[in-house]
Amino acid sequence: MGTKIGDHAVVLGGSVAGMLAARMLSDSYTRVTVIDRDDLTAAGTGLRPAIPWAVHIHALLERGRQIIEDLFPGFVEDMLAVGVPVGDYGSTCHYCFNGQMFAETETGMACVAANRPVIEHFLRSRTLVRPGVSLRESTDIVGLEASEDRSRIIGVRVQGRNGGAEEVITADLVIDATGRGSRSPRWLEELGYERAPEEKVQMDLTYTTMDFVGPLENDPLGDDIALVPTATPAFPRGAIFARLADRYALTLTGINGDRAPTDREGFLAYAKSLPRPEVYEAVRDAEQRSPAGSFRFPASIRRHYEQLRRFPAGYLIIGDAACIFNPVYAQGMTVAALGATVLGKHLAKGVEPVPAAYFRDLASVTNAPWTMSAAADLGYPEVRGKRTIATKMANLYMPKVQAVAANDPLVARAFIRTISLIDSPQSLMKPSMIGRVLFGPGARGKLENPANASIAPVASLPSSEKAAQNDVERPAA
């Protein structure tokens, strides 16, 4: 274990990022306290109020799975033990772009089809048994406690949700892992620090999920895990249809105000509009398990803390509190895991992490996923954000990659490895890959995917037709 850096570290937030941070801190601090507003013990593997979007399908990308497996050996085995489906990302998860399903390919990467509450419960159960780690539940975080000269954070002010007096919990190090609702920008401003520059991509995404009871009469998955007709600028409606441990789930997505209704009839009509008929046919006559849930996500936000000239010692930020990703791309949990590895790297030096150095390294591991998701969203003309030359080039090239991946297993595998954060986006730009995308057998029609034999590629919809589509089947305000 070695010499401890300090006596007490406090983590604000007990979700994925918070528990991964606590796991890292437990090797370097005598005590680690995780504070959360919810009653996490009572929540167990169920939903909790602070994360209403947990009802929707979540995916743990391969890079995130690898990190969690390294920190908590036996993760996949534990998931299998509670009935979570596990399979290869390239052969049991079927990606579709513009109606064309990717060629099947073995990637060697494990898709763990656990919903977010199950993953959170696993992380809590494994983290809280570590020496010195404790959980303070049902507690509101009121604000930060700073030194007299405000150069250091020395604790947090909290109050029990059931009332009682406000109190100060002192700490050598405080980490904000409170997620999308992070109040760090305001707290730091109140202490005299500048707000971090923000980068936004505004897409006005809505995702709506309905769960169904299995077995299904028209089951397109069998022993596979998911069918993912991905939204594109040509057809900006998407879906994730997945087989989970105890049910089937269908999440429907729309952008720029287009959203799937929550009533069964409207939900099914939206599903029927997708370019792959298998999704609608699977759930058309299926028994609904619970009411549909809908959640609006207005924008991705990246806070560039690495650009600040001043920042208080004893305070770090991780996960969605630093960068909020479009959930469609399933990057959030994995980037939180990458952030935990950055934290671990700095703790391994045996001294308290220096915020400026930590944030530079956090920015480094955030760059690739942010660039990929932002570029994909900015491919939609109506989405607002900064379009660079690189973004425009990516949005000319990536549709070609996706089209060829429908017939070429090697291109499909390369694409899946990239979006799984195993390989960098630059791997798709290697001369050998560019040649295969532009001139290879998949591009020339020499390879054919039987799964697409009866499905014509989706043509780009005229603007008037898109507008009309957005007006149809939308719920009343």
Per-residue pLDDT of the chain (477 residues; tens, 9 = 90+): 568 999 999 999 999 999 999 999 999 999 999 999 999 888 777 767 666 656 778 899 999 999 999 999 999 999 999 999 999 999 999 999 999 999 999 999 999 999 999 999 999 999 999 999 999 999 999 999 999 999 999 999 999 998 889 999 999 999 999 999 999 999 999 999 999 999 999 999 999 999 999 999 999 999 999 999 999 998 999 999 999 999 999 999 999 989 999 999 999 999 999 999 999 999 999 999 999 999 999 999 999 999 999 999 999 999 999 999 999 999 999 999 999 999 999 999 999 999 999 999 999 999 999 999 999 999 999 999 999 999 999 999 999 999 999 999 999 999 999 999 999 999 999 999 999 999 998 888 777 788 887 677 665 544 434 444 444 333 332
pTM listed for this prediction: 0.93
Amino acid (1-letter code) at residue 348:
A
Kindly compute the dihedral angle of the four CA atoms of residues 407, 269, 117, 346, in this order, to the nearest 10 degrees. Answer: 50
The values of phi and psi at residue 86, to 5°, are: -135, 135
Q: Looking at the DSSP assignment, which residues form a beta bridge with residue 146?
A: 153
| Region class of 101: left (phi > 0), else alpha (psi between -120 and 50), else beta | beta
What's the topology of domain 6-52+114-197+304-367?
A: FAD/NAD(P)-binding domain (3.50.50)
Task: Provide the pLDDT for residue 445.
Answer: 75
Q: Is residue 255 within 8 Å of residue 298, measured between CB atoms?
A: no
Task: Provide the pLDDT for residue 1.
Answer: 52
C-alpha–C-alpha distance, residues 338 and 318, integer Å: 10
Decide: helix, strand or coil at residue 217: coil
- What DSSP designation does 29 have? E
C-alpha–C-alpha distance, residues 12 and 428, integer Å: 38
Amino acid (1-letter code) at residue 156:
V
Residue range 200-299 in CATH 3.40.250.10: no
Domain 6-52+114-197+304-367 identical in fold to domain 200-299: no
Q: Domain-by-domain residue ranges, the chain?
A: 6-52+114-197+304-367, 200-299
Q: Is residue 254 within 8 Å of residue 206, measured between CB atoms?
A: yes
Whether the upstream peptide bond of residue 49 has omega within 30° of 0, thus cis, is: no
Cα dihedral across residues 379, 381, 384, 387: positive or negative: positive
For residue 403, CA distances in Å to 88, 297, 389, 400, 466 come to 21, 28, 22, 5, 22
Q: Is residue 112 within 8 Å of residue 78, measured between CB atoms?
A: no
